[in-house]
Amino acid sequence: MRIDVLTLFPEMFGSPLEYSIIKRAREQRLVEIVLSNIRDFATDSYRKVDDKPYGGGPGMVMLCKPMFDCFEHVQAQSTEPGNVILLTPQGQPLTQEKVVELSALPRLILIAGRYEGFDERIRTGLNAEQISIGDYVLSGGELAAMVVIDAVVRLLPGALGDEDSAADDSFSNGLLEYPQYTRPEEFRGMKVPEILLGGDHGKIEKWRNEQRIERTRKWRPELYEKYISNIKNNS
């Protein structure tokens, strides 16, 4: 997979993409991440990338011209046109289901905005899908783009080691994870559940499944309702 990122702050993307699973996936060439600075495509002497909104109002709006020029330059670097994604709080909320869908694509072109937003013609003219990472406002799309990259790259075949598994992830079947324990058997009076020490794998699996359901019901009732209605619809 190739992931392009169009941003005014490529430097922000350094360390989050240089550790652990994402680092390994890049080293193994499972993903190529290419950062492009939109400001490099600003042509005037001030290298302007934003301007005041038509109709008035606070803040600044990202200009079409540098964005389109940057986009066209980047898109031409590969024969695969890619899926264009604008990171914006107006977007569809990112879910694990969406992450799985994105991880199957050959190329993503992520566009991270700043200021009050993008000129609307950037969205329409680049035929971009919009994604948000939650109902709160960040100062720019960069952190959201990094979240998308992290979530997607760890699902690429070969990115997770044998000992890890995406199948057990929270949300992988609409439920939260079961509780995990490691040594020691007792810590400050808190004991590891007996059933995990017994070695009966059938019982352990059943217990873990019950824990997933119970924790989802207690902590994420809206996910639990969805889980229950899925079961009903499938039976």
| Shortest distance, position 113 Cβ to ligand 6GU, whole Å | 7
> Rounded to the nearest whole angstrom, what is the least distance from the CB of residue 89 to ligand 6GU in the complex?
4
Task: State which residue, 101 or 185, has the beta carbon closest to ligand 6GU.
Answer: 101
Shortest Å, Cβ 136 to ligand 6GU: 5
H/E stretch holding 117 reads strand 117-118
Given a contact cutoff of 8 angstroms between Cβ atoms, the answer to whether 109 and 51 are in contact is no
- Beta strands 107-112 and 117-118 are unpaired
Catalytic residues: 89, 116, 154, 169
CB 91 → ligand 6GU: shortest distance, Å?
6
| CB-based closest residue to ligand 6GU | 144
Nearer to ligand 6GU, 36 or 132 (CB): 132
Please tell me the distance from the alpha carbon of residue 48 to that of residue 114, in angstroms, as a whole number: 13
DSSP string, 50-102: EEPPTT--SS-EE-HHHHHHHHHHHHTTSSS--EEEEEEEEEEEP-HHHHHHH
CA-to-CA distance for 164 and 169, rounded, in angstroms? Answer: 9
* CB of 118 or CB of 178, closer to ligand 6GU: 118
Please state the φ and ψ torsions of residue 35, each to the nearest 5 degrees.
-100, 135
Rounded distance, CA 112 to CA 49, Å? 13
CB-wise, 63 or 144, nearer to ligand 6GU? 144
Q: Give the three-state DSSP class for 29.
A: coil
Closest separation between CB of residue 149 and ligand 6GU, Å? 12
The residue among 5 and 175 lying less far from ligand 6GU, judged by its C-beta, is: 5
Q: How many residues does the chain have?
A: 235
Binding site for ligand 6GU (CB under 6 A): 87-89, 91, 132-134, 136-138, 140-141, 144
